[in-house]
């Protein structure tokens, strides 16, 4: 399913070991939830997290929310148990951390042959191998479905600073967006760490939207409203998109490659973009 068919503006990390947080996710205005077995769970709570996540997904009640389970990395002694559990879960996708190359996707696919897989893009090797990761398994029809940027881990492993505007990160962000779009994957931006910096968070959401991300991963419910608003097409944008679509459907314009609309030259490619905008707005409206 493509990002045109469902909104993924806001995807909230929830610790798998926190039953109250998981329960609260059923009521929050987010498009997706990542039930985390990895970073958000203390080492001595891993088994309990698996139990709580399994119970929560079995119980259901998450409605429209796209449910992702993040397992522990393949180089840990937790990975095998997480993957065994994931094979039994009723979730929308399993998120694999520390993906470095196509071989990591293949290894995950061998354990989960029938489960949609997403990759955390959070290592220097992942940035160098973004295309190979995006295409892994495609010839067999068992490739990835999405990317999630892990900007904190990227900063840790590269020494790049997490500064306003993310100048050190922009090349990597753009590389991953290009790889995702070239091969039909969805892609989510990384988290914003400062809960008290509303202006900085809004600016980073706008940057991610403008770069082409489907949405952003979040660490707290207070970030939801801003994220949902920024990653949704605004009413004027939707109205103009509808105008473009209608104009190209006029009999006199159906054979034209470009037409003038409201003082702007608009090409067929803009009509395709307008269709995506309207589809996204419709999907958000249908979510209720």
- Predicted confidence pLDDT, tens digits, the chain (288 residues): 344 468 999 999 999 999 999 999 999 999 999 999 999 999 999 999 999 999 999 999 999 999 999 999 999 999 999 999 999 999 999 999 999 999 999 999 999 999 999 999 999 999 999 999 999 988 787 889 999 999 999 999 999 999 999 999 999 999 999 999 999 999 999 999 999 999 999 999 999 999 999 999 999 999 999 999 999 999 999 999 999 999 999 999 999 999 999 999 999 999 999 999 999 999 999 986
Q: Do residues 257 and 268 make contact, with C-beta atoms less than 8 angstroms apart?
A: yes
Identify the sign of the CA torsion 89, 95, 98, 103: positive
As a whole number of Å, the end-to-end CA separation of the chain is: 20
Return the CA Rg of the chain.
20
pLDDT at residue number 1: 35
- Tell me the β-bridge partners of 218: 12
pLDDT at residue number 2: 43
Q: Give Cβ neighbours of residue 278 (< 8 Å, ≥ 6 apart).
A: 238, 241, 242, 245
pLDDT at residue number 139: 75
pLDDT at residue number 5: 67
Identify the sign of the CA torsion 228, 233, 235, 238: negative
Residue 19 CA to residue 57 CA, distance in Å, equals: 12
**What are residue 220's phi and psi, to 5 degrees?**
-155, 145
- Tell me the β-bridge partners of 115: none
Burial of 23 (0-12, 13-18, 19+ CB in 10 A): middle
3-state secondary structure the chain: CCCCCCCCCEEEEEECCCHHHHHHHCCCCCCEEEEECCCCCCHHHHHHHHHHHHHHHHHCCCCCCEEEEECCCCCCCCHHHHHHHHCCCCCCEEEECCCCCHHHHHHHHHHCCCCCEEEEECCHHHHHCHHHHHHCCHHHCCCCCEEEECHHHHHHHHCCCCCCCCCCCHHHHHHHHHHHHHCCCEEEECCCCCCCCHHHHHHHHHHHHHHCCCEEEECCHHHHHHHHHHCCCCHHHHHHHHHHHHHHHCHHHCCCCEEEECCEEEEHHHHHHHHHHHHHHHHHHHHC
């Amino acid at each position: 399913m493509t990002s045109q068919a469902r909104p993924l503006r806001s995807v909230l990390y929830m610790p798998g070991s926190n039953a109250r947080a998981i329960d609260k996710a059923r009521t929050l205005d987010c498009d997706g939830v990542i039930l985390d077995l990895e970073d958000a769970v203390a080492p001595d709570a891993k088994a309990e997290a698996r139990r709580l996540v399994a119970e929560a997904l079995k119980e259901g009640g998450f409605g429209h929310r796209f449910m992702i389970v993040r397992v522990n990395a393949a180089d840990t002694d937790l990975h095998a148990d997480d993957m065994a559990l994931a094979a039994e879960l009723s979730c929308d996708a399993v998120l694999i951390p520390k993906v470095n190359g196509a071989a990591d996707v293949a290894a995950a696919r061998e354990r989960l042959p029938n489960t949609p897989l997403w990759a955390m893009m959070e290592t220097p090797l992942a940035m160098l191998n973004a295309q190979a990761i995006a295409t892994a398994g495609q010839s067999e029809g068992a490739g990835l479905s999405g990317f999630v940027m892990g900007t904190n881990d990227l900063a840790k492993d590269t020494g790049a600073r997490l500064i306003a505007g993310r100048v050190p990160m922009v090349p990597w962000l753009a590389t991953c967006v290009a790889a995702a779009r070239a091969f039909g994957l969805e892609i989510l931006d990384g988290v914003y760490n400062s809960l008290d910096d509303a202006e900085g968070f809004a600016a980073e959401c706008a940057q991610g939207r403008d770069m082409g991300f489907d949405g952003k991963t979040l660490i707290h419910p207070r970030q939801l409203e801003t994220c949902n608003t920024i990653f949704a097409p605004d009413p004027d944008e939707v109205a103009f998109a509808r105008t473009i679509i209608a104009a190209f459907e006029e009999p006199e314009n159906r054979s034209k490659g470009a037409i003038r609309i409201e003082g702007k030259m608009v090409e067929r490619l803009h009509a395709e973009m307008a269709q995506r905008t309207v589809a996204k707005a419709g999907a958000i409206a249908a979510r209720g």
